[in-house]
Homo-oligomer: A and B are copies of this chain.
Amino acid sequence: MIQLRKLAAAGALGSAVLLAAGPALAQVEAETKFALDTFSFLICGALVMWMAAGFAMLESGLVRSKNTASICLKNIALYSVAGIMFYLVGYNLMYVDVGSYIGTFSIFYDASPAELALIGAEEATPELITAVVDNGYAVMSDWFFQMVFVATAASIVSGTLAERIRVWPFLLFVVVLTAFIYPIQASWVWGGGWLAERGFSDFAGSTLVHSCGGWAALTGAIILGARRGKYGPDGRVNPLPGANLPLATLGTFVLWLGWFGFNGGSQLALGSAADAANMAIVFANTNMAAAGGVVVAMLLTQLLYRKIDLTMALNGAIAGLVSITANPDVPAIWWALLVGGVGGALVVFAVPLLDRLKVDDVVGAVSAHLIAGIWGTFAVALEDGNFGAQILGIVAIGLFVSITSAIVWLALKYTIGIRVSDEEEALGLDRAELGMEAYPEFGTGSQRM
């Protein structure tokens, strides 16, 4: 077990040195820190937004061509819907007032009055500046950063359920997930709720984002059922290979890049030496966990199947990234490499296991996000010894997300329906729901179906 020091409140460290230096200097420094922390949120948030493109490309590459335009649409639509619902409901539910949400209902979340006063002022007086910088970072930069996280959770769901779920019911699920399910469970930790009080630790969301999305996807996959033809009557698993593997590779690289913002930005501050140094550790570990996941997945598929499986290597990268997300500031790269490597191994075993259970996960998202998310969250306890809190958080969030997701999926299933007809599934969702083809000129190759 490694001895590690955690940064309880990273943002608080930087200004300690300023106390002795007089108020004028402290204010200047606070304004610089405000600008740095805000910029860090914005740039890291933009990188996380980019992960939405990564999921879109990963999933576009791993579905068959007849369902490709649909998965593109679902991905850009879910990102849009997630932002709108997080604005209308989710952010307030997560941060502003969890206990008595209805009582303090404030539907629109915008820049603070102090910020608007400073921006609109003829002259920036010290009082105006102090009122703003006391918050630590611009209000909307935090909103933006949190918003892209909720979108990530929703992105995980679309891949698992691809090729047979209807667009609008899927988006209705996204509405509930991003307005209620994600914010409520995230508030338990990042909103300062009961799991945080019990010491549950999840730096950037192995459980709060990735397992959350994974549980919602798993529940959906069970209730929605497998694709036609995926599981033969004799127990055979038919592969139904993805139509465009370079796109899937691109998507994985996009996710890898975006993850630097996902984990790095979760430092929540940049404007002190401690914050900057810890963010650097986060970047290095994030990269190495992914590298570990790739190499282990490659070696294992070579050993097990005598072939290297590209999609396993890609999912190995993602599993490595998910695994380190709960604890990316551990100060030992070899530990990050190990945590990511185990994540890569888990995905190699989880994917066929789910198939044996006839849970049809088109892109392997349950394995890469849920299973690796559980592992990464548990691995925090290997380092800090707090097994009880970690297991409590994994179980509590798993139960909450699964149960609420199941209720929503079942309600949708028995009202408007969630699945296309068999004829539409055979035709492909692109023609059925969109009236178009993703690649009208390509084909007909060896596996067109």
With the chains together, A305 CA to B434 CA distance in Å?
Answer: 10
B291 near A83 with CB under 8 A, answer yes
With the chains together, A219 CA to B279 CA distance in Å?
Answer: 39
**Which chain B positions have C-beta within 8 A of A333?**
87, 108-110
B253 near A56 with CB under 8 A, answer yes
A245 near B38 with CB under 8 A, answer no
B42 near A279 with CB under 8 A, answer yes
B144 near A284 with CB under 8 A, answer yes
**Which chain B positions have C-beta within 8 A of A32?**
29, 32, 36, 271
Within 8 A of B (CB), among A33-84: 34-36, 38-43, 45-47, 49-50, 52-53, 56-57, 60-61, 64-65, 68-69, 72-73, 75-77, 79-81, 83-84
> Is the C-beta of A388 less than 8 angstroms from some C-beta in chain B?
no
Query: Among the listed stretches A19-27, A180-188, A198-206, which one makes contact with chain B, having 4 or more residues with CB under 8 Å of it?
Result: A19-27
> Is the C-beta of A334 less than 8 angstroms from some C-beta in chain B?
yes
**Which chain B positions have C-beta within 8 A of A249?**
56, 60, 72, 75-76
> Is the C-beta of A169 less than 8 angstroms from some C-beta in chain B?
no
Q: Which residue of B lies closest to A340 (CB)?
A: B80
Task: Find A441's partner among B118, B141, B448 (CB 8 Å cutoff).
Answer: B448
B445 near A256 with CB under 8 A, answer no
With the chains together, A278 CA to B119 CA distance in Å?
Answer: 7
**Which chain B positions have C-beta within 8 A of A40?**
39
A332 near B108 with CB under 8 A, answer yes
A76 near B276 with CB under 8 A, answer no
Q: Which of A39, A288, A441 has the most chain B CB within a 10 Å cutoff?
A: A441
> Is the C-beta of A353 less than 8 angstroms from some C-beta in chain B?
no
Binary interface profile of A, 304-334, with partner B (CB < 8 Å = 1, else 0)? 0101111101100100000000000101111
A52 CB to closest chain B CB (Å) equals 7
A310 CB to closest chain B CB (Å) equals 5
A111 near B281 with CB under 8 A, answer yes
Q: Which of A18, A47, A124 has the most chain B CB within a 10 Å cutoff?
A: A124
Name 17 extra pairs, CB < 8 A, besides A13-B119, A53-B253: A4-B120, A16-B125, A17-B125, A29-B32, A35-B36, A52-B253, A61-B246, A65-B442, A79-B291, A111-B277, A111-B281, A118-B274, A121-B274, A133-B273, A245-B439, A246-B438, A307-B435
7 examples of A-B residue contacts, CB within 8 angstroms? A49-B260, A76-B253, A77-B294, A83-B291, A84-B337, A119-B278, A119-B331
